[in-house]
Amino acid sequence: MEKHILSKSTFIRGLQCSKSLYLYKNFIQLRDKISFEQQAVFNRGNKVGILAQKLFPGGVDASKVKRSDYTAAVSRTTELIKSGVEVIYEAAFQHNKVLVILDILVKNTPNNFPDKSHWDDEWYAYEVKSSTKISHTYLLDASLQYWVITNSGLLLSDMSLITINNKYIRNGEVKLNELFSFTSVKNEVIRNQPKIEENISVSKKVLEQLQIPKIEIGEQCFSPYSCDFMGTCWKLVPANSIFEITGMQKSEQFNLYHSGYKTISEIPEQNNLDKNVNIHVQSFKKGSPMIDTKAISTFLDKAQYPLFFMDFETFMPAVPIYNNTKPYQHIPFQYSLHYKKSTDSKLEHSYFLAEQGQDPRKLFLENLLKDTENIGSILVYDALMERNVLNGLKKDFPEFSHEIDLRLKRFVDLMQPFQERSYYHPLMKNSHSIKNLLHALIPELSYTNLQISNGSMAMVAFEQLQTETDMFKILETRENLEKYCELDTLAMVKVFEILEKEVK
């Protein structure tokens, strides 16, 4: 069998951008380093895929041959089918130099799973996604699999996507047939077959070319996935380009770019851009912050000393770990609190970081309520998540509802003056995230030297702790989590002090 030239991932890559496909196949060394977040999504997908295999126990893994030897995996799949194996994991098929690896292939699966009373003699294909929704890309991916499998000679009675059911609430052992949802996509994939055939031939022609396709940067660089050749294609984009204006529609950015307005300084005074974008453009051109002291003073009046500066970290396991939780529910595991009794008093700090291996919610809540029982405003930066977490905890622990409501009433969102542009610094780049704010106002308080430097990393780190057994790694991760969360609230204190200075 000839070596494949397209696979499921390279096919999807080619649909996104033929240059990306060409670079991937011919200049892989130019590929950007995979980000921590992308790796985490990839690992989660693998874990969910392995768990979903248990829906069809007793199967044989066709990929368990020589590593990365796909030809051997295809032969082994054929042998397994011929020898009567009824459940095959990682079943590999190849047709016309296109390779696909299907998560689960099952013979005789009844349509009314798990009732086994209506078994027939046909094959059913299942592709597992760790997402809760079916995207257009998933349908294309399933359509390609259907094309390869059926053209290889195996008739499929049905093709389904297995996704996570976000309504499932864990109670005791995980019930796999409730955690996962099955959606037949056979009709859609059959409708897509001509399109798949056409795109396979387009991609093959791209790969026969002797030169890199001439494709300009565009919206395709971000959709459906962030392209991993941006380091190559985007290197000629100048500093302070219009792409540095966060929150702008990509289509708007590319319209400007392709009309010759490549940098923020080149944007004309008269334009149709949004009010906040124009605030950024003006502030950038002036090179100084725009400050509305009256609005800041009104905001500061809301914050009554003593002040608490509070930040939560949560994690969102795809498969619920604790009873009475849903897939992807925000589970709070850590908070940091800085406390200032008065303008000139010494800053105090307290925090909570849950022990791994146990449901953190109740202890988190009890400690938080105790640490915030004094009077005073509770400053939170972008309070939405903290509010949602506390409202969720009210449902989980109704006995604390009253106390939680008392804390919620004391919330003051420190993001407000920045979101409303009462204080705007050009380095905020039209964003009011705490990270951008810190970079603009207090660059010396940087996250770059921290091992855990953003919320996604904190989420993954705590989730990994649940199964970590190496004591040194546990201690190191806990220390990194503490440093990260503490910096978040210390940053809020400093930001608040800057606002106070402005109105003095």
Nearest by Cα to 6 from 21, 17, 28: 21
Q: How far apart are CA 250 and CA 245, in angstroms?
A: 10
Q: Distance of CA 388 to CAs 13, 50, 364, Å?
A: 37, 32, 15
Q: What's the closest the beta carbon of residue 227 comes to ligand SF4, in angstroms?
A: 3
Q: What is the DSSP letter of 3?
A: P
Of 19 and 44, which CB lies nearer to ligand SF4 in the complex structure? 19
Q: What's the closest the beta carbon of residue 30 comes to ligand SF4, in angstroms?
A: 9
Q: What's the closest the beta carbon of residue 214 comes to ligand SF4, in angstroms?
A: 10
Q: How far apart are CA 421 and CA 408, in angstroms?
A: 25
Q: What's the closest the beta carbon of residue 178 comes to ligand SF4, in angstroms?
A: 39
Q: What's the closest the beta carbon of residue 35 comes to ligand SF4, in angstroms?
A: 15
Of 27 and 305, which CB lies nearer to ligand SF4 in the complex structure? 27
Q: What's the closest the beta carbon of residue 235 comes to ligand SF4, in angstroms?
A: 10
CB neighbour list of residue 355: distance below 8 Å, 6 or more residues apart: none
Q: What's the closest the beta carbon of residue 136 comes to ligand SF4, in angstroms?
A: 17
Of 10 and 489, which CB lies nearer to ligand SF4 in the complex structure? 10
Helix (H, G, I), strand (E, B) or coil at 132: coil
ω into residue 289 within 30 of 0, thus cis?
no
Burial 57-86 (b: 16+ CB within 10 A, else e): eebbebbebeeeebbbbbbbbbebbeeebb
Q: How far apart are CA 503 and CA 107, in angstroms?
A: 73
Of 75 and 220, which CB lies nearer to ligand SF4 in the complex structure? 220
Q: How far apart are CA 3 and CA 392, in angstroms?
A: 52
Matching residue, tokens 């009104």: 298
Q: What's the closest the beta carbon of residue 202 comes to ligand SF4, in angstroms?
A: 15
- Cβ–Cβ under 8 Å, residues 386 and 380: yes
Residues at the contact surface with ligand SF4, assessed by CB under 6 A: 17, 19-20, 23, 215, 217, 220-221, 227, 229-230, 233
Nearest by Cα to 359 from 413, 294, 315, 422: 315
Of 229 and 424, which CB lies nearer to ligand SF4 in the complex structure? 229
Of 20 and 130, which CB lies nearer to ligand SF4 in the complex structure? 20
Q: Distance of CA 290 to CAs 248, 353, 423, 503, Å?
A: 20, 38, 6, 13
Of 16 and 480, which CB lies nearer to ligand SF4 in the complex structure? 16
Q: What's the closest the beta carbon of residue 220 comes to ligand SF4, in angstroms?
A: 5
Of 190 and 206, which CB lies nearer to ligand SF4 in the complex structure? 206
Give the total residue count for the chain. 504
Q: How far apart are CA 256 and CA 464, in angstroms?
A: 43
Q: Where are the alpha helices (DSSP H) in 83-185?
A: 136-151, 176-179
Of 110 and 218, which CB lies nearer to ligand SF4 in the complex structure? 218
Backbone angles phi, psi at 80, to 5 degrees: -60, -40
H or E stretch at 375: none
Q: What's the closest the beta carbon of residue 37 comes to ligand SF4, in angstroms?
A: 18
Of 20 and 253, which CB lies nearer to ligand SF4 in the complex structure? 20
